[in-house]
Amino acid sequence: MADLFSSVRLGAYTLKNRLAMAPMTRSRANPDGSPTPLMAEYYAQRASLGLIFTEATQPSDIGQGAINTPGIYTDAHIENWKRVTSAVHAEGGRLFIQIMHSGRMSHPDNVIGNLQAIAPSAIAPRLQFHTADGPKDVPTPREMSLVEIRQTVADFRHAARCAIDAGADGVEIHGANGYLIQQFFAPNANARTDAYGGSIENRARLAIEVVSAVVAEIGAERNRLSHFSWRTLG
Ligand SMILES: Cc1cc2nc3c(=O)[nH]c(=O)nc-3n(C[C@H](O)[C@H](O)[C@H](O)COP(=O)(O)O)c2cc1C
């Protein structure tokens, strides 16, 4: 039986051990979404693990949900993520950036431009979100148009390219926990009657388009769709 501390092959990489760090939001980025020196220090401290999945990172302004989360779609994001990836690589670690679009799980107070959230349907999640002024009710999101769905797929693809340009070893696409991709899976968040709602195939369409676009951009060996429950499809 393989030892926990023995190396293992994962896609394009040989990891030095079989321990990985789960993605965990820390809300330590600058207001423009650029990673801070504290983030480089934090991830470098954990680089003895075989693989680090970073905290959820938005692919666009509208993809942000929580306060001070990092982005991976501007030149400033790339330059500052380079400090994180090089700090981890200097310690012999590997790092995948987790790309997450929050969809309706978002408060305008936390988002650049105070944008109204977009989601499969205009259905509020009926919960509160932490903001700089404390917890607030999450407002009802706006239903995404087909153009916005296409733009979202393009944003994931662009973010994956930016992650690789920033020195990340790969990306994880967040498909779980009630955020945008999972909102499309879930009948209680997705009431669409077009090609993205109704049947299981239709509700899975966005996830498949996002994964296909990311694979086309950076290759199949450098990306992974995070844990999600097919139960939410049935
Ligand atoms: C503080 C905190 C922040 C988290 N942020 C994220 C996140 O950004 N992305 C994500 O996919 N999961 C996030 N999670 C979920 C964890 O990655 C993990 O799936 C969860 O803690 C369950 O782990 P377990 O199955 O080992 O118990 C977060 C969890 C915690 C405790």
pLDDT at residue 229 tops 80:
no
Q: Is residue 12 one of the residues assigned to a domain?
A: no
Q: Which domain holds residue 208?
A: 38-233
Which CATH number do you get for residue 186? 3.20.20.70
Whether residue 183 has its Cβ less than 6 Å from ligand 1: no
Whether residue 205 has its Cβ less than 6 Å from ligand 1: no
Q: Is residue 58 one of the residues assigned to a domain?
A: yes
Is residue 119 within 8 A of residue 189, CB to CB? The reply is yes
Q: pTM of the full predicted structure?
A: 0.95
Lowest-confidence range among 82-86, 196-200, 224-228? 224-228
Q: Is residue 5 one of the residues assigned to a domain?
A: no
Mean pLDDT of 164-174: 96
Q: What band does 226 get if pLDDT is binned at 50, 70 and 90?
A: low
Q: What pLDDT is recorded for position 51?
A: 95
pLDDT at residue 209 tops 80:
yes
Q: Is residue 128 one of the residues assigned to a domain?
A: yes
Is residue 144 within 8 A of residue 170, CB to CB? The reply is no
Q: What pLDDT is recorded for position 225?
A: 64
Q: Is residue 118 one of the residues assigned to a domain?
A: yes
Q: Is residue 7 one of the residues assigned to a domain?
A: no
Q: Is residue 42 one of the residues assigned to a domain?
A: yes
pLDDT at residue 221 tops 90:
no
Q: What is the mean pLDDT of the chain?
A: 94
Whether residue 224 has its Cβ less than 6 Å from ligand 1: no
Just list the catalytic residues. Answer: 179
Q: Is residue 27 one of the residues assigned to a domain?
A: no
